[in-house]
């Protein structure tokens, strides 16, 4: 397929590289010329503006956005719309709030343009070699991009979630669950360290990664982080949050659904900004390992 791709940050660049290797034709744009230059030597065609990007695509265009949630998405769509035509599709692959996706889809539908909200998971590794994507929006638009999704994702790693907003809602809930899982791991490793048994935390992680009920990718990432430093002393335990946890707690309050574990993990992220311990450093390290999220190094 031929598609436009806007946003070549950490996730966007890896996804674009993946699509190019799968044989897709991409016209790419990023506000940073340095970011666009990273695709030099590939088959990607670099546009110097959003208007130029649209002009290089045929009608019934597909344009995939990987830009930060909030105002940047609105601004990008606003700049694209004058160049687009009825039948074109925009895919928002970032972590937008679901209510924003519903609003944007309704506005674009009036002009005959489809918006798909595509919650993307898998971190940098997934973006490069096979992601997990949850898509909301018009089913007909979803079917038109399915070939692209099949190549972007691992086997059985994508699906149609429902009407506009459902893709980003599913991703929000996914990230809330992720918060709780990482918090539990952080607390467990903190107790191991305090036990007095002198545990080799990397060895514990290795054992737990093979055959245990709690085995999985996060535990494998824990091994990677501990291999860098058995005490994770290279970073402070200050855990950032990118919004999805807060949105999930707000949604739970709106729908009167109890999510105490996820809410507690969110509040712990706030607490971590005042004091750090191994529990917080574990979560900060895991976020860095899977998503390249920044962390504060100890002075």
Which residues are annotated as catalytic? Answer: 171, 178
Per the rule left: phi > 0, alpha: psi between -120 and 50, beta: everything else, 61 is: beta
Answer yes or no: are the C-beta atoms of 221 and 289 closer than 8 Å: yes
Q: Do 207 and 133 meet the contact criterion of CB atoms below 8 Å apart?
A: no
Q: Compute the distance between CA of residue 71 and CA of residue 282 in angstroms, rounded to an integer.
A: 32
Angle value at C-alpha 179, between 265 and 244, nearest 5 degrees? 100
Instruction: Report which of 129, 152, 142, 150 is spatially closest to residue 19, judged by C-alpha positions.
Output: 152
Q: What distance in Å separates the CA atoms of residue 282 and residue 222, rounded to the nearest whole number?
A: 8
**Entry field: residues in the chain:** 299
Cα–Cα–Cα angle for 282, 252, 103, rounded to 5 degrees: 105
């Amino acid at each position: 397929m031929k598609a436009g791709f806007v946003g070549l940050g950490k996730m966007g660049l890896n996804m674009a590289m993946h699509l190019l290797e799968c044989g897709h034709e991409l016209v790419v744009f990023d506000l940073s010329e340095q970011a666009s230059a990273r695709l030099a030597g590939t088959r990607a065609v670099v546009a110097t503006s959003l208007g130029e990007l649209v002009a290089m695509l045929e009608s019934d265009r597909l344009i995939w956005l990987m830009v930060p949630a909030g105002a940047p998405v609105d601004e990008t769509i606003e700049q694209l719309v004058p160049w687009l035509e009825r039948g074109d599709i925009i895919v928002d692959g970032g972590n937008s709030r679901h209510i924003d996706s519903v609003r944007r889809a309704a506005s674009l539908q009036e002009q005959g343009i489809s918006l798909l909200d595509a919650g993307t998971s898998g971190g940098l590794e997934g973006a490069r070699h096979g992601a997990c994507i949850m898509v909301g929006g018009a089913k007909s638009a979803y079917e038109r991009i399915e070939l692209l999704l099949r190549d972007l994702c691992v086997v059985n790693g994508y699906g149609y979630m429902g009407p506009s907003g459902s893709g980003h809602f599913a991703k929000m809930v996914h990230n809330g669950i992720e918060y709780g899982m990482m918090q539990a791991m952080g607390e467990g490793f903190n107790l191991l360290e305090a036990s007095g048994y002198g545990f080799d935390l990397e060895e514990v992680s290795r054992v737990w990664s093979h055959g245990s009920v709690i085995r999985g990718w996060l535990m494998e990432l824990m091994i990677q982080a501990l291999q860098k430093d058995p005490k994770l002393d290279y970073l402070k335990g200050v855990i950032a949050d990118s919004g999805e946890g807060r949105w999930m707690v707000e949604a739970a309050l709106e729908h009167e659904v109890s999510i105490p574990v996820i809410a507690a993990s969110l509040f712990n992220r706030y607490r971590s900004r005042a004091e750090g311990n191994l529990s917080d450093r574990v979560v900060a390290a895991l976020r860095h390992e899977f998503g390249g999220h920044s962390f504060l190094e100890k002075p």
